[in-house]
C-alpha cells in the first residue's frame, strides 16, 4: 500500500470547487499529478498552480498507472460520463455533489459503482463540517431527546448569470438542486431518511431558467419533520441548521461573525451551552483526508453512492411536488 506522499491524484474540472480539493490534497501530503478540463486554459492554469501535467483526455487519465484516485469537479450533468472511466478502471473516485441531474442518471452511476465494486465517495462535504459531526454525536447520545423538527436555511447572494448553474441542462436546477441537496444530506445524516416531500420553487429576484428560491417540507422515517429554505438572492447570508428535540435544541450557525458555530440548550437550561469546535479541521480538509484514508484501505466511504442517489431522489421529488402542488412520497 502506498503512503500518502506517494499517492497521485487526478482532477477533472478545474473551476471553483477544484481549488478546495487541491488545497486539501496538498495539505494532506498527496500530489496532484494530472488535471483535465474541456477548457484547456483552465486546465493549464491549475496545472501551473500545483505543478501537475494536463491530461490529453479522460481516457488517458483513467489509467491506474497514471493516478491512484480522481476528484470529479465538473457540472452535475457530466458526473456520470466523467466518473465512469475511473469506476470501470477501479480507480477511487470522489465525485462532487449533486451525484447527477436526474434519478435515472444517478441510478446508472450507482449501478456501475456496485458492478465494478469500485471505491466511490459522494462529496457531501457538510458531513465533515465539525459542528455537524458534533450535532450527530449529541443526537446519538440522547442529549436533545427524540428529534422532532429539523430546520435549515442556506440563503445568500449568488449571481446565476454566466455560471453553469443557470443552465438546467448542466445543473439540473437552481438553489434546490445545488444547496437544498446539501440540506437534504444533512437531514439524512442527523435525523434519518426522508419518506415524503412537499415543495415550492420560485424566481424571486433573478429571472433565469432555474429557481433562485426553494422551500421544502420533509417527513422523516424516524418521525422527525424538516423545513429547508434556500435562496440565491439575499445579500445578507443566513445559513443555519437547527434540530429541535423533545428534551433540547441544537443550533449550528454557519459563518456568522460573533456567533458560536454550535450551541445546545436543554430543557430547563437558562442559557445556551457553546461547544468549541475551533480546533477541528475544515470540512474540505476532513473530507479529502477521509477519502485518502479510504484509498489507503484504512476506512470505508462515509458518504456512499447510495447516499448520493437518496439525496437525488428527494430533490427530484421536491421538483415534482413544486410542479404538481402535491405531497410526493419517496
Ligand atoms: N461541496 C460544495 O460545497 C461545492 C461547492 C461548489 C461547487 N460544488 C459542486 O462542484 C461541481 C463544480 O462546480 P464549480 O462551482 O466548481 O463549477 P465551475 O463552473 O466553477 O467549474 C466547472 C469546471 O468544469 C469544466 N467543465 C465543464 N464541462 C466539462 C467537460 N465536459 N469536461 C471537462 N471539464 C468540463 C469547466 O470548464 C469548469 O472549469 C458542481 O457539481 C457543484 O455543485 C460543490
Q: What order do you get walking across the sheet with 233-245 strand by strand?
A: 273-274, 262-266, 248-253, 233-245, 147-157, 225-231, 213-220, 194-202, 328-329
What residue ranges define each of the domains in the chain, with the CATH number in brackets? 4-126+285-304 (3.40.50.720), 129-278+312-329 (3.30.360.10)
Beta carbon of 75 within 6 Å of any ligand 1 atom: yes
Beta carbon of 164 within 6 Å of any ligand 1 atom: yes
Question: What are the pLDDT digits (tens) for 151-160?
Answer: 999 999 999 9
Residue 238: which pLDDT band, with cuts at 50, 70 and 90?
very high
Backbone angles phi, psi at 30, to 5 degrees: -85, 160
Pocket probe mutation, ligand 1, options 12, 17, 56, 284, max atoms within 8 Å of Cβ? 17
Question: What are the pLDDT digits (tens) for 288-317?
Answer: 999 999 999 999 999 999 999 999 999 999
Q: Please compute the mean of the pLDDT values over residues 238-266 and round it to a whole number.
A: 95
Given the CA of residue 164, which atom of ligand 1 is nearest to it?
A: 19
Within 254-327, strands assigned E span: 262-266, 273-274
Residue 84 has pLDDT above 80, yes or no: yes
The region, left, alpha or beta by phi > 0 then psi within -120 to 50, assigned to residue 87 is alpha
| Other C-beta atoms lying within 10 Å of the C-beta of residue 121 | 26
Give the strand pairing for 194-202 and 328-329.
antiparallel
Beta carbon of 123 within 6 Å of any ligand 1 atom: yes
User: Which candidate, 106, 98, 118, 294, places its Cα nearest to that of 185?
Assistant: 98
What integer best gives the mean pLDDT of the chain?
A: 97
Half-sphere exposure in the Cβ direction for 298 (13 Å, CA): 10
∠ at Cα 163 (47, 202), nearest 5°?
Answer: 150
Q: What separation in Å is there between the alpha carbon of 75 and the centre of ligand 1?
A: 4
Given the CA of residue 124, which atom of ligand 1 is nearest to it?
A: 1
Backbone angles phi, psi at 144, to 5 degrees: -115, 15
- Burial level of 16, CB count in 10 A (0-12/13-18/19+)? exposed
Cα–Cα distance list, 264 to 186, 250, 259, 285 (Å): 18, 4, 13, 25
Beta carbon of 173 within 6 Å of any ligand 1 atom: no
CA distance 270 to 156: 32
Residue 5: which pLDDT band, with cuts at 50, 70 and 90?
confident
Amino acid at each position: 500500500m502506498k503512503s500518502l506522499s506517494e499517492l497521485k491524484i487526478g482532477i477533472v474540472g478545474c473551476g471553483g470547487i477544484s481549488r478546495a480539493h487541491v488545497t486539501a490534497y496538498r495539505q494532506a501530503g498527496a500530489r496532484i499529478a494530472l488535471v483535465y478540463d474541456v477548457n484547456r486554459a483552465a486546465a493549464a492554469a491549475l496545472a501551473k498552480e500545483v505543478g501537475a501535467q494536463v491530461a490529453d483526455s479522460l481516457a488517458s487519465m483513467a489509467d491506474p498507472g497514471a493516478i491512484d484516485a480522481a476528484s470529479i469537479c465538473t457540472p452535475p450533468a457530466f458526473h456520470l460520463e466523467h466518473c465512469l472511466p475511473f469506476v470501470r478502471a477501479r480507480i477511487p473516485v470522489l465525485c462532487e455533489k449533486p451525484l447527477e441531474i436526474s434519478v435515472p442518471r444517478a441510478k446508472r452511476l450507482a449501478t456501475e459503482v456496485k458492478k465494478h465494486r469500485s471505491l466511490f465517495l459522494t462529496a457531501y462535504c457538510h458531513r465533515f463540517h465539525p459542528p455537524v459531526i458534533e450535532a450527530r454525536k449529541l443526537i446519538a447520545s440522547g442529549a436533545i431527546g427524540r428529534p422532532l423538527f429539523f430546520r435549515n436555511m442556506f440563503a445568500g447572494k449568488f449571481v446565476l448569470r454566466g455560471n453553469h448553474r443557470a443552465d438546467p441542462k448542466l445543473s439540473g436546477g437552481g438553489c434546490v438542486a445545488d444547496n437544498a441537496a446539501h440540506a437534504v444530506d444533512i437531514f439524512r445524516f442527523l435525523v434519518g431518511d426522508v419518506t415524503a416531500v412537499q415543495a415550492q420553487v420560485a424566481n424571486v429576484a433573478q429571472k433565469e431558467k432555474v429557481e433562485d428560491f426553494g422551500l421544502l417540507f420533509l417527513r422523516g422515517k424516524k418521525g422527525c419533520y424538516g423545513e429547508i429554505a434556500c435562496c440565491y438572492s439575499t445579500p445578507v447570508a443566513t445559513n443555519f441548521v437547527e434540530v429541535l428535540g423533545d428534551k433540547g435544541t441544537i443550533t449550528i450557525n454557519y459563518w456568522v461573525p460573533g456567533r458560536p458555530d454550535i450551541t445546545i440548550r436543554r430543557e430547563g437550561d437558562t442559557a445556551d451551552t457553546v461547544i468549541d469546535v475551533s480546533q477541528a479541521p475544515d470540512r474540505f480538509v476532513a473530507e479529502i483526508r477521509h477519502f485518502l484514508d479510504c484509498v489507503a484501505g484504512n476506512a470505508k466511504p462515509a458518504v456512499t453512492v447510495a447516499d448520493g442517489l437518496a439525496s437525488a431522489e428527494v430533490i427530484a421529488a421536491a421538483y415534482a411536488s413544486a410542479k404538481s402542488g402535491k405531497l410526493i412520497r419517496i
